[in-house]
Amino acid sequence: MRDDAAFLSGPPASRLAALRDAIGRADLDALLVTGLPSIRYLTGFSGSNALLLVSAIECVLLTDFRYEAQVADEVAPHTTVKIEPTSLWAGLWPSIAAIPGVERIGFESAHLLHRDFARLLEQGGRWQWRPTADLVEALRAVKDPGEVAHIRRAVAMAEQALDRTLSVLRPGLTETMVAGVLEQHLREAGSEAFPFPSIVASGPRSALPHARAGDRRLELGDFVLLDFGAVAHGYCSDITRTVVLGTATSEQRTVYEIVREANVRASGAIRVGMRGLAADAVARDYIDACGFGDAFGHSLGHGIGLEVHEAPRLAKTVEAPLATGMVVTIEPGIYRPGWGGVRIEDDVLLTDAGAEVLTTFARHLIEIA
């Protein structure tokens, strides 16, 4: 869908300028970018086969003939596009050689196959190759207003789909059928894709934090946990709600209220400058104090953007402070094996004026009559 001018002109050149600063600080002359979401972030190109070389003066995108029309449509004017007839790697070496003064080149250690690393050593042996970590990811962690607008759109799509799905939830449907309904509604809301296979976990299966939808049939009295997202202009939302089919027991209500309170406390406390571990602790300490510390086994949240899991992380070990423009999930949970589990996940934008919870869907316990 091409309906906004910002998208048509590709991403702003400021992203490339910021990366060039980072390349300089890393004492490199250039960076070979092989992670596709990062290539999309820097150039606008959303195809599935590309290499990107960024130096102080050049930004060269190599792809193949299948993408000739797409690349012309998507790519920002600051990018030099090369359509390679055979292999992208064969085209890479002359592209580097054409740039004066390039000796030390970084590669993305998290996004380079070993077989391609061998190519760098064998065919690209005239340059010095240095591993790098998170040079582009660190930039991607901070969203600009255009990116935030796409995430807001993805949140709205997910909430619309959830609303429609809850209205048809009933005993006897399998989890897979519910996931199918949810994904149809996501598509109808305009979602380009699914950030991950939608999770629908019912009854005791809701205690599995990363359950897939399976063939279990929903029963009266079940917790039904739905964790899913939408994609708008490449940007993901990620939302979880847990509902009860029928009337909740007092035990279900108690556990739900603890998770809800942990979610609300963390969303209310998170702010720019706070460290990831401090944000995590707000929810974790509360769940701990309620006696369920062992039942919250995962971290509080993660960044969302072109990928559904990206920087920053909100976890016990993360010292780095949160910055303005980051969009993170807040997703505390309590999981009791054999009984069930509750997770409530919201998407939150950090601004200088405070945290804005982008997710507006009800957080109180919904009982499906």
Contact residues toward Zn ion (CB under 5 A) are 227, 238, 240, 329, 345
C-beta of 308: minimal distance to Zn ion in Å?
Answer: 7
- Residue nearer to Zn ion on the CB measure, 160 or 329: 329
Cβ proximity of 234 and 154 under 8 Å = no
Closest to Zn ion by CB, 230 or 244: 230
Q: Write down the least CB distance from residue 287 to Zn ion, Å.
A: 17
Between CA 162 and CA 363 the distance in angstroms is: 13
Measured from the CB atom, is 15 or 205 closer to Zn ion? Answer: 205
- Nearer to Zn ion (CB atom), residue 54 or residue 344: 344
Residue position matching structure tokens 């509750």: 342
Query: Rounded to an integer, what is the distance from CA 25 to the centroid of its chain?
Result: 27
Q: How far is the CB of 117 from Zn ion (least distance, A)?
A: 31
Question: CB neighbours (10 Å) of residue 192?
Answer: 16
Omega before 77 cis (within 30°)? no
Minimum separation from the CB atom of position 343 to Zn ion (A): 8
Q: How far is the CB of 82 from Zn ion (least distance, A)?
A: 37
Which C-beta is closer to Zn ion: that of 116 or that of 356?
Answer: 356
Instruction: Supply the angle between the helices 36-43 and 14-25 in degrees, to the nearest 10.
Output: 120
Which is it for the CA torsion 27, 33, 39, 45, positive or negative?
A: positive
Encode burial over 106-124: b for 16+ CB neighbours within 10 A, e otherwise.
Answer: bbbeebbeeeeeebbeeeb
Q: How far is the CB of 114 from Zn ion (least distance, A)?
A: 30
Q: Which of 255, 217, 237, 227 is nearest to 165 (CA)?
A: 227
Q: Which is nearer to Zn ion, 107 or 228 (CB)?
A: 228
Q: How far is the CB of 270 from Zn ion (least distance, A)?
A: 15
Greatest pairwise CA separation for the chain in angstroms: 71
Where are the alpha helices (H) located in the chain, listed in sequence order?
5-8, 14-25, 36-43, 68-74, 88-97, 114-122, 135-140, 145-166, 175-188, 250-269, 276-289
By beta-carbon proximity to Zn ion, the closer residue of 116 and 192 is 192
Strand pairing report for 346-351 and 327-330: antiparallel
- Least Å distance, CB 304 to Zn ion, is 7
How far, rounded to the nearest angstrom, does the alpha carbon of residue 135 sit from its chain's CA centroid? Answer: 17
Closest CB to Zn ion among residues 39, 287? 287
